């Protein structure tokens, strides 16, 4: 990868996000996006200070839902970080920008206008379509290469990175901007996930409510934001003397085929995705140095991922490999989670630091691995996994590894 951009609850750029994450900070707070006093869940992790006018012209802004605004901002930051000048190469530069929900705020506004006024504004339909973040990134940055928009729940943006990886290694593009975006802190989305009992109800302690792997976890905290990673073919990057953060080694996909909202407790589907990523990269399980867990602070999900990692890496190796979840700090950003976590994993590889799992206080007997509790840890990280698992049984795992200038690898860089 040669460029990173992000808007997260911890910061409006990737540098601030990383710094605060390593410092063990939490973005959990009482919701400010809408009056939440009557809602059973009144906490979230917001990117409250985001200023869309910095990234999109005012005359265009009203046509973009918040999730598309996040995506354009993250893409522009990633493009700048990569020092990428698309120039005359538009046909060889593409994008894969994912989401889980799309423009849920615009969808709710459509329903309100139709019910109250008997009509809707013509821009609202395109505002809530899930592919509009990808469309706007392509339009705003002038990209004419492959364009896609995975919509596979919480695995979506990890799959977007995988699609970009494939596009480059199949020769369909030289550069791909890959990631995801989500803006689900709305009355509709919060009520929907709340009705499923998927959200934490620790309204009195918002900063401590998201607690992956902890025995007291009671659901996830909704987050929002976006991340975009610039993947680039090696020779293309070398030709322009681009800096390189890390290398995409491979990725794996699988389906649980078990339940629409619950993972298979045996963890077999998730383990298959991990093993597929290892095979794709030609890496042995014993060489994994760090795992960035999907763990969202749900009772079943975190325990299942623990089982899956043991199955994929082996009990002994799993027990000695640091594995942490950043969702204690930023909440669960749904369709953007995989991309944000991939960007963080890239930085973990680059800086040899395993970020912490914060709010970890009481051990759950079913979660008995090394979760890097509460404090970041120096670690030699050459090979890392980034896990993303979504409703519907979607499993996606990215393998990221350090880049050596004398490497003969000809795959996409990150």
Active site residues: 154, 294, 332
Strand partners, 387: 397
**What is the torsional sign of CA 216, 219, 222, 223?**
positive
**Of the candidates 351, 356, 349, 355, which has an alpha carbon nearest to the alpha carbon of residue 399?**
349
Helix residue spans in 118-186 (DSSP H) = 124-128, 132-141, 156-169
Rounded (10°) CA dihedral 144, 4, 81, 60: 50
- Residues with Cβ < 8 Å from 116, sequence gap 6 or more? none
- Residue 64 DSSP code: S
- For 395, the 3-state DSSP assignment is strand
177 vs 56: CA distance, rounded Å:
18
223 vs 96: CA distance, rounded Å:
21
- Residues with Cβ < 8 Å from 38, sequence gap 6 or more? none
Within 10 angstroms of residue 369's Cβ, the number of other Cβ atoms is 21
357 vs 305: CA distance, rounded Å:
15
323 vs 142: CA distance, rounded Å:
38
**Of the candidates 177, 299, 153, 291, which has an alpha carbon nearest to the alpha carbon of residue 232?**
177
**What is the torsional sign of CA 231, 235, 240, 241?**
positive
**Of the candidates 100, 194, 182, which has an alpha carbon nearest to the alpha carbon of residue 396?**
100
Q: How many CA atoms lie within 13 A of 258 on its CB side?
A: 19
Q: Which residue has the tokens 């880049």?
A: 403
Residue 134 Cα distances to 110, 208, 403, angstroms: 21, 33, 28
């Amino acid at each position: 990868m040669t460029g990173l951009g992000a808007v997260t609850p911890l910061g409006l750029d990737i540098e601030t996000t990383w710094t605060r994450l390593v410092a063990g900070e939490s973005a959990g707070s009482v919701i400010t996006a809408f009056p939440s006093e009557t809602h059973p869940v009144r906490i979230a992790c917001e990117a409250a200070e985001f200023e869309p006018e910095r990234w999109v012209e005012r005359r265009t802004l009203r046509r973009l839902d918040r999730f598309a605004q996040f995506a354009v901002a993250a893409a522009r930051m990633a493009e700048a970080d990569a020092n990428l000048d698309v120039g005359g190469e538009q046909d060889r530069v593409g994008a894969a920008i994912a989401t889980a929900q799309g423009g849920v705020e615009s969808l709710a506004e459509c329903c309100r206008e139709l019910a109250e006024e008997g009509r809707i504004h013509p821009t609202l339909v395109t505002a809530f379509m899930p592919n509009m973040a990808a469309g706007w990134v392509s339009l705003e940055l002038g990209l004419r290469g492959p364009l896609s928009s995975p919509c596979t729940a919480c695995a979506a943006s990890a799959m977007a990175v995988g699609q970009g990886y494939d596009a480059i290694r199949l020769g369909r593009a030289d550069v791909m901007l890959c990631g995801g975006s989500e803006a689900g802190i709305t009355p509709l989305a919060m009520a929907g996930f709340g009705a499923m009992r998927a959200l934490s109800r620790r309204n009195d302690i918002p900063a401590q409510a998201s607690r992956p792997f902890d025995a007291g976890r009671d659901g996830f905290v909704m987050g929002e934001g976006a991340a975009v990673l610039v993947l680039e073919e090696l020779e293309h990057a070398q030709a322009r003397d681009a800096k390189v953060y890390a290398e995409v080694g491979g990725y794996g996909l699988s389906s649980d085929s078990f339940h629409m909202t619950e993972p298979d407790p045996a963890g077999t589907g998730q383990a298959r995705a991990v093993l597929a990523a290892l095979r794709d990269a030609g890496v042995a399980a014993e060489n994994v140095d760090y795992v960035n867990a999907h763990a969202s602070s749900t009772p079943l999900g975190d325990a299942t991922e623990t089982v899956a990692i043991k199955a994929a890496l082996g009990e002994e190796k799993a027990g000695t490999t640091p594995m942490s979840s950043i969702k204690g700090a930023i909440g669960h950003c749904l369709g953007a989670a995989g991309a944000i976590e991939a960007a963080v994993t890239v930085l973990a590889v680059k800086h040899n630091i395993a970020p912490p799992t914060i709010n970890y206080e009481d051990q759950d007997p079913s979660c008995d691995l090394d979760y890097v509790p509460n404090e970041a840890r120096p670690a030699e990280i050459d090979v890392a996994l980034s896990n993303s698992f979504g409703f519907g049984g979607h499993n996606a795992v990215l393998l990221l590894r350090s880049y050596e200038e004398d490497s003969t690898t000809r795959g996409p860089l990150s």
